[in-house]
Structure 1
Amino acid sequence: MVLAIETSTVICAAALVENGRVLSEHSLNEPHVHSEKLLSLIDNVLISRDTHRTPVDAIAISIGPGSFTGLRIGLSVAKGLCYAWNIPIVPVPTLHALAWNCIIYNIGYNADYVLPMLDAKRDELYAAMYLKREHDLEEVSPVRAISQGECLGLVQHNHRTIIIGDAVEKFQMFAQQQSPGRTDIIAPPPEQRYCTAASVGILGERMLREGNTAKLASLEPAYYKEFVTTLRVVDCTTTTLGE
């Protein structure tokens, strides 16, 4: 049984997965609550199952890209639990798990490709491209931070591509401006566009069987971009009375 954690976007979620089935899942779609609510969500999914009788075998964590703060919070909690329970950690690529929504929930069943995307700010997207098979995905373009123009270049004409993620609306507007009237780019309803803990858990369970675990001490979030801060310059010049 795998405990899955998703904190890469505005979604804060936890799920229990066993043999490809979602046993329990709790999630919140609220900004800036990850540090406050994540542990209670994990408690809820554990309480819903008798984990004392059937202990958790590993933790699958959405490792990035995504919100820098959200990724750090999720990984810190996952590491703490892995150390406490002496179990392995499975770092699940966030965009791969996001693309897996299409397989798990049968989203865009007639699409040829899946293009998961997250907003990377500064007119960029985190994106990857997957060839959609009946029960699997094949990566054809790796995860990277790219411009919207580069992302549009990944979409082949006359091949239906489903776009999924929190950058969908942003990309749709850009695509319509650049290629008006295209019908080969499709998007699911807003409620189906976010990565879920269930997807992280199902993919994480598969990775665990393949031996794809990580060293706890050295594991870091996969940011794919350098952290950039904006400094506000304040005029600290003092003026003496009478000058």
Structure 2
Amino acid sequence: MLVLGIDLSSDIGNVSLVQGQTVLGSVSVRMRHRPLLNCIQLIHDLFRLTDCKIDDLDLLSGVVGPGSWTGLRVTAVTLNTLSFTLQVPVVPVNLFDALAENTICRDMDVFAVVQATRTHAHVAQISKNGTRTATHADIEYITFAEIMNIVEKSANIVISASDHAIDKLRVFCGDQIRLTTVEHLPPTSIGAACVASGLYLAHPVKWSESFIRPEYLGSPVDGGAFEIKRGIGGKALENEK
């Protein structure tokens, strides 16, 4: 199965082609201006660098939140357009699931931190004592100053998917935490990696929608329902009954 994965959720935009568990190609760029043109250029460069053709795609995947508001919208527009044109299904990927899927937890508690605004972040525990934990229900929306109330001053690792979040964590947490950055995950496209791993394909009934609908790009509110908020990303298909 040939999967195109798009991740524009943070400062580094990435597009990858994954065949099974093999990354055939991956290109990245720092997302500064013209994110839509950057995404199109990345896709063009990716197919130019590989022997694949866009008509060979079996599946499209992309990170749909939490993360950069603009990046998430560009991802949704790009995937929906490609899906409509190529008649290929889309699988939206939650960033915290992707981070957990690509993280070697060892024997530690692991927390994922994704910047939401200049002052706030999405935080969720993705591993406890080396065991994978649920990532959907416990995403908290807090200030960077409050992160130490969740992450204990021990051998915990805080994983960040944003350069700005890394800087904020260093300011507020200092040396009190072990900080591991994963803005360049192996394989670099966490969206494609999740799909290739079978994380989402294990539940095909959830992907009855071919397109990513705008209401799926929301933010956790009081740990439950989702709403669209400028500057804040969200997760897809979790609020669908």
TM-score (norm 2): 0.75
Structure 2 residue runs without a partner (length 5+): 220-226, 232-241
Residue deviations 1:46-76 (CA, integer Å, cap 9, x gap): 2333334982111111101111111111110
Distance verdict in 2 for CA 1:71–1:214, change over 3 Å = farther
Identify if the C-alpha distance between structure 1 residues 210 and 19 changes in structure 2 by more than 3 Å, giving closer, same or farther: farther
Match of 1:193 in 2: 183
Counterpart residue number, 2:45: 44
Deviates more, 1:21-30 or 1:218-227: 218-227
Match of residue 222 from structure 2: none
8 A Cα contact 1:124 1:148, kept in partner: yes
1:2 Cα deviation from its structure 2 partner: 0.8
Bigger Cα displacement from structure 2, 72-81 vs 194-203? 194-203
2: CA distance between counterparts of 1:214 and 1:154? 36
Aligned equivalent of 1:237: none
In structure 2, the partner of 1:170 is: 168
TM-score for the superposition, normalised by structure 1: 0.75
Q: Distance in 1 between matches of 2:149 and 2:208?
A: 34
Cα separation, partners in 2 of 1:146 and 1:202, compared to 1, 3 Å: same
Greater radius of gyration (CA): 1
CA distance, structure 2, for counterparts of residue 50 and residue 90 of structure 1: 23
Unaligned runs of 5+ in 1: 104-108, 230-243
Counterparts in 2 of 1:53 and 1:173: CA distance versus 1, 3 Å: closer
1:33 Cα deviation (Å)? 3.3
User: Number of residues paired by the alignment?
Assistant: 215
Structure 2 SS opposite 1:200: helix
Work out whether 1:130 is the aligned partner of 2:126: yes
Rounded Cα–Cα distance in structure 2 between residues aligned with 1:11 and 1:132: 28
Match in the other structure for 2:26: 25
SS of the residue aligned with 1:227?
Answer: coil
Kindly report the root-mean-square deviation, in angstroms, between the aligned alpha carbons of the 2 structures.
2.9
